[in-house]
Amino acid sequence: MRIHIKENPKGFERFGAQWTPTVIIADPKGTEHYRFEGFLPAGEFLPQLQLGLAKTAFATGDFGKAESLYRQIVREYPHADIAPEALYWAGVSKYKGSGDGTALNETARAFESQYANSVWAKKASVWA
Amino acid sequence: MDVNWIKDVDAALRQASEQNKPLFLDFSAAPM
């Protein structure tokens, strides 16, 4: 759905969009699960969209799908700014889906060799 | 590839619900 500020200003109010471009990813019930604002080049925009789909899957309890989408981001967009975040949530999704804590330890170890200086590596460090 | 954008918010929400698909909302001020 595309909402243009001149055609539908009330649409902006309805979803609390205060800047353009703003992208929102919502689940089939219309509940927002991710948004980002401002221009991004394709190499950053596409993984952001995918992150939104992954967060939507996670929020709706589809942890297997969420993990798959997060890992695809890391695999296909390894240099994207949100790749470290995707690696973190891939591990969390695997844990939530399996109940197996080794998924978190594996994620912490994965950060030792990639994105080691990211804030997401710091967040995962407690699982080591 | 052209995108068939829906501009009616309620129609888009209905379609997403009926098709059980996530919704992508693009808020723009680009020249029309």
Q: What is the pLDDT of residues B1-32, one digit of tens each?
A: 677 888 888 899 999 999 999 999 999 887 75
For residue B20, the chain A residue with the least C-alpha distance is: A28
Q: What is the pLDDT of residues A14-30, one digit of tens each?
A: 899 999 999 999 999 99
Q: What is the mean pLDDT of residues A53-64?
A: 96
Per-residue confidence (pLDDT) for residue A61, from 0 to 100:
95
Q: Distances from the Cα of B28 to the Cαs of A38, A101, B4, in angstroms?
A: 10, 42, 15
Q: In chain A, which residues have their Cβ closer than 8 Å to the Cβ of B7?
A: 1-4, 7-8
**Separation CA A14–CA A128 (nearest Å):** 43
Q: What is the mean pLDDT of residues A76-103?
A: 97
**Separation CA A57–CA A91 (nearest Å):** 14
The pair of three-digit structure tokens given for residue A12, joined into one six-digit string:
């902006």
Q: Do B27 and A24 touch (CB under 8 A)?
A: yes
Alpha helices in A1-128 (DSSP H): 9-15, 42-59, 63-76, 83-98, 102-113, 119-124
Which sign does the torsion angle of CA A12, A28, A37, B30 carry? negative
Q: Do A29 and B17 touch (CB under 8 A)?
A: yes
